């Protein structure tokens, strides 16, 4: 007898999405989350008295509209609003770039008329590739299969459909797709633009959460990965969830609970129970056993296969792949409580302007980003870090006391592991000071306005949120770890190497970000397998 049809390890947004769809299909589901709250990296917390913020992930775009609709997230309290301007890049020379609906090209023209003229064509080119990715988000990639059986035939058909989709692209767009998958962001953007600030604006997406220089081959993919989203139907926009990112996961948890899903917090899983080569449940840290017909893992695949499953149960080649799974973002995250809005030297004023609602990128060039990476590689953090600051309280008055504000500082690059075996616990506050001082250079007086702060080093991201290596995506988004190779060739269809074991987190296609897609796709695989095994009819969700 199984206590549950499916046990989900981890109540991140993907675990919750998976659970909700399984519950919707009539399955009995249990979610086990190690923290005291669900949401994983998409949570809202009071980080200092009176000030709440999205303490890890902080901005929304990639969350799939089908999932929002299927889980009725808006009915469960989610509200997403647009920023009044998308991005603001103040330079240290007194100039700035503001990207906002209708005036981006005009603002680019302040730096380069040629860049401004090329911007629309660039956007169309990126959109064409983003549309391809968008169509693939809610599908399992074609999976590598051996032999000549029904499964192999199915995968061949899938690969054929994928090939056909690519054939619909013009040769030019196909070349772009290849460029975006293989080139460096600097090469890709350099072919379009000459202005340093414009390239820095667009190049930020290539290095965010990606411990690499924008000159590293493959980093152009970051541009594409951050382009498949939308806010309230408007493609490629980024917005804010009222109440913070926790509003998304709380709505997901309510949706799942509405379908009978049981969610238990403070319930860390120690290992997957393997019986006769099949995942049959889990063992918790406290020794309790929770049995299930299937296990869906929302955790990083490296954690799953190197810490939660006996090595003897895995093929050596697969185990080696997981041991070598590259997961380490060069990310340092801060939440700050502010007594007033910052006034930027390049655009002074503390009254809330459109630029205050934007993603404020402090990194004036790709060369600056390259130096940040080289510094982090050699000394552990960059002397001049790249920072995106978002001040969500400019769009949401539920986060800070009246008149005060909260800001997210998303800082790159820091080394996930410090040189000479130094510990992040000894250097966290020193680096946090550097981040505040960096903002202060662009917005004099910022430092004095900070009335509280929380700093999260890569080690903290691992210890607090369970993110192996502090990797915000559960694994680097590089060609060797994407699509049919995520997490490994032959296992891209959300099914693990053991029967009854599934991947429902960001370590599966399409990778990291608050998308809900791996959770959605894994649920579909689980339901299909149950139908095959038990003739179960998932008639309430397709
Ligand atoms: C600092 C930071 C900033 C980011 N910014 C953005 C952003 O602005 N926008 C965006 O779209 N994305 C952003 N991301 C990326 C995005 O948040 C993640 O890729 C995404 O949330 C991962 O979701 P997930 O459900 O797959 O995994 P997770 O959110 O990591 O959830 C996994 C869950 O498993 C739990 N768990 C771990 N071990 C165990 C165990 N042994 N037993 C039980 N449970 C366990 C964890 O506690 C966690 O709740 C950011 C991430 C970080 C860290």
What digits encode the pLDDT tens for the residues 158-198? Answer: 999 999 999 999 999 999 999 999 999 999 999 999 999 99
CA distance 235 to 135: 13
Q: Which residue do the tokens 């630029």 mark?
A: 355
CA–centroid distance, residue 454 to ligand 1 (Å): 18
Whether 34 lines ligand 1, by a CB cut-off of 6 Å, is yes
pLDDT (0 to 100) of residue 537: 57
pLDDT (0 to 100) of residue 539: 45
CB atoms under 10 Å from CB of 170, counted, come to 9
pLDDT (0 to 100) of residue 542: 42
CB 471 within 8 A of CB 329: yes
Closest of 424, 422, 451 to residue 436, by C-alpha: 451
CA 147 to chain CA centroid, nearest Å: 35
Give how far Cα 98 sits from Cα of 84, 233, 382, Å. Answer: 11, 22, 25
CB 447 within 8 A of CB 440: yes
Whether 15 lines ligand 1, by a CB cut-off of 6 Å, is yes
CB 223 within 8 A of CB 206: yes
CA distance 174 to 479: 16
Strand partners for 386: 412
Q: Which helix (H) or strand (E) holds 374?
A: helix 366-379
CB 298 within 8 A of CB 521: no
Ligand 1: atom nearest CA of 39 is 49
Closest of 33, 99, 124 to residue 237, by C-alpha: 99
Which runs of E-coded beta strand occur in 313-442? 331-338, 359-362, 381-390, 405-414
Whether 269 lines ligand 1, by a CB cut-off of 6 Å, is yes
Closest of 37, 68, 2 to residue 519, by C-alpha: 68
The alpha carbon dihedral of 295, 301, 307, 313 has a sign of: positive
CA–centroid distance, residue 539 to ligand 1 (Å): 30
Ligand 1: atom nearest CA of 15 is 25
Answer yes or no: pTM beyond 0.75. yes
Whether 7 lines ligand 1, by a CB cut-off of 6 Å, is no
The preferred substitution site among 42, 67, 83, 460 for testing ligand 1, maximizing ligand atoms within 8 Å of CB, is: 42
**Atom 16, ligand 1: residue with shortest CA distance:** 513
Residue by residue, DSSP assigns 180-206 as HHHS-HHHHHHTT---HHHHHHHHHHH
**Helices marked H in 455-516 — which ranges?**
458-465
Whether 42 lines ligand 1, by a CB cut-off of 6 Å, is yes
CB atoms under 10 Å from CB of 370, counted, come to 19
CB 65 within 8 A of CB 44: no
Whether 299 lines ligand 1, by a CB cut-off of 6 Å, is yes
**DSSP letter assigned to residue 20:** H
The count of C-alpha atoms lying within 13 angstroms of the C-alpha of 214, restricted to the half-sphere facing its C-beta, is 29
CB 40 within 8 A of CB 48: no
Give the number of residues written for the chain.
Answer: 542
CA–centroid distance, residue 211 to ligand 1 (Å): 17
**DSSP letter assigned to residue 245:** T
CA distance 48 to 35: 19
Residues of the chain with pLDDT under 50: 538-542
pLDDT (0 to 100) of residue 540: 47
Q: What percent of the chain has pLDDT over 90?
A: 94
pLDDT (0 to 100) of residue 145: 86
Ligand 1: atom nearest CA of 269 is 42
Based on the number of CB atoms within 10 Å of its own CB, is 310 exposed (0-12), middle (13-18) or buried (19 or more)? exposed
Ligand 1: atom nearest CA of 267 is 43
Whether 97 lines ligand 1, by a CB cut-off of 6 Å, is no
CA distance 241 to 238: 10
Whether 56 lines ligand 1, by a CB cut-off of 6 Å, is yes
pLDDT (0 to 100) of residue 509: 98
CB 41 within 8 A of CB 472: yes
CA–centroid distance, residue 39 to ligand 1 (Å): 7
pLDDT (0 to 100) of residue 146: 82
CA distance 65 to 215: 33
CA–centroid distance, residue 233 to ligand 1 (Å): 24
Ligand 1: atom nearest CA of 456 is 1
Whether 197 lines ligand 1, by a CB cut-off of 6 Å, is no
pLDDT (0 to 100) of residue 147: 82
């Amino acid at each position: 007898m199984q206590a549950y049809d499916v046990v989900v390890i981890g109540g991140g947004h993907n675990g919750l999405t998976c659970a909700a769809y399984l519950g919707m299909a009539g399955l009995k589901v249990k979610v086990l989350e190690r923290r005291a709250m669900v949401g994983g990296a998409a949570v809202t917390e009071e980080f200092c008295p009176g000030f709440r913020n999205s303490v890890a992930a902080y901005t929304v775009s990639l969350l799939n509209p089908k999932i929002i609709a299927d889980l009725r997230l808006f009915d469960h309290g989610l509200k997403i609003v647009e920023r009044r301007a998308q991005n603001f890049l103040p330079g240290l020379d007194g100039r700035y770039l503001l990207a906002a609906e209708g005036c981006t090209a005009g603002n680019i023209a302040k730096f380069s008329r040629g860049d401004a003229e090329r911007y629309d064509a660039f956007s169309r080119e990126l959109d064409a590739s983003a549309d391809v990715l968008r169509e693939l988000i809610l599908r399992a990639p074609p999976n590598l299969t051996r032999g000549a059986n029904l499964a192999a035939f199915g995968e061949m058909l899938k690969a054929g459909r994928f090939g056909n989709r690519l054939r619909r692209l013009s040769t030019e767009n196909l070349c772009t797709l290849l460029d975006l998958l293989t080139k460096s962001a600097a090469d890709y953007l350099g072919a379009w633009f000459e202005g340093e600030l414009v390239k820095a604006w667009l190049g930020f997406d290539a290095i965010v959460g990606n411990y690499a220089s924008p000159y590293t081959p493959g980093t152009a993919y970051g541009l594409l990965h951050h382009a498949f989203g939308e806010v309230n139907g408007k493609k490629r926009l980024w917005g804010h969830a009222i109440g913070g990112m926790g509003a998304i996961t709380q709505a997901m948890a309510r949706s799942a609970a509405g379908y009978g899903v049981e969610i238990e917090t403070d319930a860390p899983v120690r290992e997957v129970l393997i019986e006769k080569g099949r995942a049959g449940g889990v063992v918790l840290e406290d020794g309790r056993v929770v049995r299930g017909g299937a296990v869906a893992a929302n955790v990083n695949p490296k954690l799953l296969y190197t810490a939660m499953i006996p090595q003897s149960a895995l093929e050596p080649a697969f185990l080696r792949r997981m041991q070598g799974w590259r997961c380490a973002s060069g990310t340092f995250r801060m939440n700050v409580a502010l007594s007033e809005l910052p006034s930027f030297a390049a655009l002074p004023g503390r009254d809330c302007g459109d630029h205050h609602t934007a993603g404020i990128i402090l990194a004036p060039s790709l060369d600056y980003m390259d130096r940040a990476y080289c510094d982090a590689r050699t000394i552990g953090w960059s002397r001049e870090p790249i920072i995106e600051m978002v001040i969500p309280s400019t769009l949401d008055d539920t986060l800070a006391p009246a008149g005060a504000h909260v800001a997210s500082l998303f800082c790159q690059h820091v080394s996930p592991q410090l040189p000479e075996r130094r510990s992040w616990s000894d250097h966290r506050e020193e680096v946090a000071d550097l981040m505040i001082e960096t903002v202060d250079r662009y917005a004099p007086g910022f430092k004095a306005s900070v009335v509280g702060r929380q700093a999260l080093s890569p080690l903290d991201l691992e210890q607090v949120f369970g993110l192996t290596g502090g990797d915000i995506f559960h694994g680097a988004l590089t060609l060797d770890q994407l699509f049919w190779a995520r997490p490994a060739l032959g296992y891209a269809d959300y099914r693990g190497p053991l029967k009854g074991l599934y991947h429902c987190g960001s370590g599966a296609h399409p990778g990291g970000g608050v998308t809900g897609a791996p959770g959605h796709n894994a649920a579909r695989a689980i339901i299909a397998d149950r139908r095959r095994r038990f003739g179960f009819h998932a008639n309430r969700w397709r």
